[in-house]
Structure 1
């Protein structure tokens, strides 16, 4: 049951990743940058 639910989800995520790869990469880098910034402030 879980496997059947997981497969389309992974396919969906992979589809988004290929379409918005640069956007996701930017978002990921931004999250790391933000966490470093908040650590420096605190």
Structure 2
């Protein structure tokens, strides 16, 4: 993905990822677990 596109989409991407995380996984997970989940998503997304 091109950098300009990635920068424009990153806010929506984070919002969607957090919503997906809360809906599909355990909404009671703590912040470090959520951060790790998002970092893993970003790593896969940037490959």
**Structure 2 length as normaliser, TM-score?**
0.40
Larger Cα-atom Rg:
1
Q: Which has the higher contact order (CA 8 A, sep 6+)?
A: 2
The structure with the greater share of residues assigned to helix is 1
